[in-house]
Structure 1
């Protein structure tokens, strides 16, 4: 019975993994689909021990499918295109409730070159300045707004081509980092797609459908300068959501998947149990990634994601 139950769980996970969910419940189910698919090997073993040969064979086929689907995300590793490296920290600051001193400490501890914040409010932006963020990262483009709408981008390096993108439910901003010395100038974008839960998933579905065009336009602008693209934000989606995987086109790669750690978890944080899903991501285009870890952001329900990105050699 347990083997059969686990087999059903794995089948549900497989369907949820490939189906572009539209309702909030199905989006949530898809977010956990990789975990559900992982039940198939145990189902195979239990059904084989119970001598249910046909069922065990079906579970074995499902296990093979799970391996084909999930294994490629574990075979990545550090990539070094040979150029300069940048450390990017992205974090959702929980409607501006995150502790500004904690955010600045996370930037300092990570030695971050770029900070990308989502749900940045005007009061928090002011408190971050008072906490000394501008001394660490003196260049910025901010769209601080009430509630969940705002975002911010801070950099150790001067910025050019600052842009605000109104396509999604929440604000998005981008800018090109001017590294100097003839080095490529990466374009950095921070975005935040609408949450699919517990409210209707309609806004999330629309945002995820619009995001490929946004990424494509940013990539086209970066190509005009011969630069790479780095994207960080709260996508409210995991590797298990088909809509998130659909974003990984046109040269974009998820840093966690590229490094072989797709189950890096960032949400929810601040509870007695550790985070269970990874909905915060850094995408890279024409760039590598050689390290990734999460950090606590005091006062936020997300952990921050720190990625060391390597740029092409000039």
Structure 2
């Protein structure tokens, strides 16, 4: 499909720079068979049915943004995928100043050796020493806010909490699964009281989630692989919910993409561990999910393509036009949509 079909005009002032407080006070646009309904996230128990199950991504964002020096040259790096105990792949600013074998000093005693550059422009970094890389990043790194926020204000102490979900447990993401940022312990308790259960899986979100689609046709776009895991117990729970007539609602496109990666053509979700580069565009047949709660996405992005695959492109263009006209806040710190096909 032509990527231009997924374009829409978004006023700059619709980009949220801070999350709603409290988190579940964010607005929520419910899209279902009856039309559009303007609500807030705290209304979620009434928007779902007893027997439904929400699936959250429990990945934890690491301080993956690094600034360092190679001699006198300043190097900026965003780690995006672990490739070994001490090796991470990174997108690098001023990458032309780096050669295979160069050492970068990130300060605080943190150094890494650069590898050869790949076709996508990324480099592998091998971190020096014996300390776990996670400890090195805590010392030298900072929270990797999305470029559409970081370009408008600096990262600060609030982001260390604001940009982690209440489910964050498995360290390894360089971007938050932002739909889950709306949840609080109180909201989770009210969902449970309404008969709505939840489960978790892990997908370590990479920086590729922010990369623009440069191809003119979706068939020519290459997704970056991300590592994920659904254990056998979780897969069994999801299948059991659907078998008894409940719905599996993915919270966030990351949860959806991993479930769909694990689901067979028979609709059965199986245990999964490994990389996925699944790219969902209109025409895709969903096999493992029955709905999606997600934030509002960038024009021409793979995530807007995904929601268009779920609900229909024409309908999502109409949904986003309503959201823009009605003042919904967009992107990572913005409002939510609940999409029930």
- Give the TM-score normalised by the residue count of structure 2: 0.26
Tell me which of the two structures has the higher relative contact order, counting C-alpha pairs closer than 8 angstroms and 6 or more residues apart: 2
Superposition TM-score, scaled by structure 1 size: 0.28
